[in-house]
A and B are shown apart, each in its own frame.
Chain A
């Protein structure tokens, strides 16, 4: 019932991970795998695009905490974009916004990583 798919793209040196489906218990392997992918590892900035995500539960939040730990460990920056207002609120409530800068659109996220605009 829970399905999760993802796709990795690049915009210059920035890796963009398009998430699709549910972010829940069975998302951990694919998402951590994408973050550790040899094509993604050199990117110092990774953008998670949530446009295709309709459901995030507490297991998905835990997974995002693990991703934050991973990017801190590998000295990278994690950004997010295209989250619904509800999940933006959840991100703020649980404290994820302290570690993941959230942008309205993917373009905003990419611009936010330009020199002088990074957090």
Chain B
């Protein structure tokens, strides 16, 4: 039996609102081809969009010339999406936001991104590079019920 080679697609995107949709649509098309259900495809699309927005807005501060690199890796059992930024700071773990606090104005109405990402994909790994920049890896698995795993490391 021939050895399966993962299919890899790489996108280099300007750090400008709207370009997250390019990654989102690409991820959706690949996930659909891999046989994920429409509901899981949409979950992945929302997570990819939020991961890109995080890089665009917080890491690159909307500097269009600074590119984020999105790598989509379609394997036999899973789809991996790596979103690589060149910015500083960290990606805080997405605790469940308190909507009441936000509605009453005690908390910023923003801050949903990481919560959505962690809720919608099977695995999230945040890798911080000492020289600057981060990789946010999202994994969606083809088999079994979905589960949520969060990991964090630095290299």
**Which A residues have a C-beta under 8 Å from some C-beta of B?**
1-2, 22, 24-26, 55, 57-59, 61-63, 65-66, 68-69, 72, 84-86, 90, 93-96, 98-99
What CA separation (Å) do A68 and B102 show in the bound complex?
10
Q: Pull 21 A–B residue pairs with CB atoms less than 8 Å apart, ordered by A.
A: A2-B21, A26-B17, A57-B49, A57-B50, A57-B53, A58-B50, A58-B53, A58-B110, A58-B111, A58-B112, A58-B116, A65-B109, A66-B109, A69-B102, A69-B109, A85-B39, A86-B46, A90-B116, A95-B99, A95-B100, A96-B99
**Chain A residues within 8 Å of B109, by CB:** 62-63, 65-66, 69
Residue from A26, A57, A63, A86 within 8 A of B20 (CB atoms): A57
> Residue B97 at the A interface, CB < 8 A?
yes
Category for how many chain B residues contact A: 20 to 34
> Residue B18 at the A interface, CB < 8 A?
yes
User: Contacts A2-B18, A69-B104, A86-B39 given; 7 further ones with Cβ under 8 A?
Assistant: A1-B16, A57-B46, A57-B53, A58-B111, A65-B99, A86-B46, A95-B100
Contact B99 A98, beta carbon cutoff 8 Å: yes
What is the 8 Å Cβ interface bit string for chain B, positions 13-42, against chain A (1 contact, 0 not)?
000111111000000000000000001001
What CA separation (Å) do A66 and B39 show in the bound complex?
28
Q: Given A25-B17, A65-B109, A86-B42 in contact, is the A99-B116 Cβ separation under 8 Å?
A: no
What CA separation (Å) do A26 and B111 show in the bound complex?
17
> Residue B43 at the A interface, CB < 8 A?
yes
> Residue B2 at the A interface, CB < 8 A?
no
> Residue B113 at the A interface, CB < 8 A?
yes
What is the 8 Å Cβ interface bit string for chain B, positions 110-127, against chain A (1 contact, 0 not)?
111101100100000000
**Chain A residues within 8 Å of B103, by CB:** 65, 68-69, 72, 99
> Residue B105 at the A interface, CB < 8 A?
yes
Least Cβ distance of B50 to chain A in Å?
6
Contact B105 A69, beta carbon cutoff 8 Å: yes
**Which B residues have a C-beta under 8 Å from some C-beta of A?**
16-21, 39, 42-43, 46, 49-50, 53, 97, 99-100, 102-105, 109-113, 115-116, 119
What CA separation (Å) do A61 and B21 show in the bound complex?
16
**Chain B residues within 8 Å of A86, by CB:** 39, 42-43, 46
Residue from B21, B104, B113, B116 within 8 A of A1 (CB atoms): B21
Least Cβ distance of A25 to chain B in Å?
5
What CA separation (Å) do A57 and B47 show in the bound complex?
9
Q: Kindly list the 7 A-B residue pairs having the minimum CB-CB distance in the complex, ordered from nearest.
A: A1-B18, A95-B99, A58-B112, A86-B42, A62-B109, A65-B109, A58-B113
